[in-house]
Structure 1
Amino acid sequence: MTTITVTRHLVADLLAGDERMPVNVHVIDHPEARILIDTGVRDIHPMAADMDPRLYPFDIDPDSIDIVVNTHLHFDHCGNNHLFAGRPIYVQRRELEDARSIADYTIPEWVDPPGVSYRIIEGEHQLLPGIRLLPAPGHSDGLQIVVIESGAHPTIVGGDVAVWFGELDEPASEGQMLVRALEPELVWLTHVNEPWHRR
């Protein structure tokens, strides 16, 4: 069995109501490539000022990353895409179209910084042996999750397929129901520091 590991990196936090909500990105180390899932928040931007972002050091060496996957293109998931110009960045076609066309969807210049080009996919995509991208609509129509085949039950890096564990305990969206149907062992989320565990 090939060893594939997931490492969480805290890159920011945001004000959500009266609480601070972490913003994590995840690095997947695969024997064939190092993959970054989402890129976090770039700087303090007027469009995100109401969430009072606090930034932490971005401690991932861009040169160490071979592939980037954006689960979706809200500002807290694509802010550092500019650091990965020249590397493949995988996104669902629906997500990219929405990010480029819907007002106030995201921060447009973070989606299309100079030098960034996307690998646009539609539907399921085999990224590497043992790693698939699957559409998981709900939080956004074009959201995708990363499924790591790691034994009897997969590990999932889900971005905002759920914002907190309760949304996986009682799934409501198409994406959340897909995650539960896959019977994962662990699900890593952007806004929670520890993974959700299968019960």
Structure 2
Amino acid sequence: MGLVKTIDLSSNNLTGEIPFEITNLHELLVLDLSNNALVGEIPQDIGQMKELLTLNLSKNMFSGEIPSTMSKMDRLNDLDVSYNNLSGRVPSSTQLQSFPPERFVGNAGLCGLPTMKKCLEDADEGVPPVGDSEDDADELQRWFYIGGATGFATAFWIACSTLLLNRRLRHAFFHFHSCLKDWVYVKVLVFIARMQRVARA
């Protein structure tokens, strides 16, 4: 059967395991075994079927891990292994990670991209979840405001105490304040007069 291009046995009452010899069909383009009662593991040598474009194993009772050899199936553009009993990490490859998460749902033990479940070894790497990063940022911002307010209050009371205890400095400060106020007042009047002349012209 080396010349067979398509096998579609979906929606039957097939039982048992997939014969490992099926991986010898190197010219196969479409394999659809969905919606049966097949058990066992996906053949480890399935990666030899490098011409395969469509692989549908959904709605069966396959168990074990997705074979790592599937990462070599770079022509695969349609994959569905949903609603089985698969477990472990989805093998890393540009092709497998490109499929939507819906193609892997119904397998409680599956983890890693593109599924929505993180693998335990990923959690042990110490990479904080997004929520924890946001909490840390909020905590840092809160302490920034607290520190700024405390520093301002401390500096304000130090300045006030200095002015209260040192009469010469207090007189100099109020003299400077009075001169600054007069300077600003004159500048504002000159600016208003200039604007009025421009408006009349």
Q: Return the TM-score normalized by structure 2.
A: 0.24
Structure (1/2) with the larger strand percentage: 1
Structure (1/2) with the larger helix percentage: 2
Per chain length, whose mean CA-contact separation is higher, i.e. which structure has more relative contact order (CA < 8 Å, sep 6+)? 1
Q: Return the TM-score normalized by structure 1.
A: 0.24
**Higher Cα Rg: structure 1 or 2?**
2
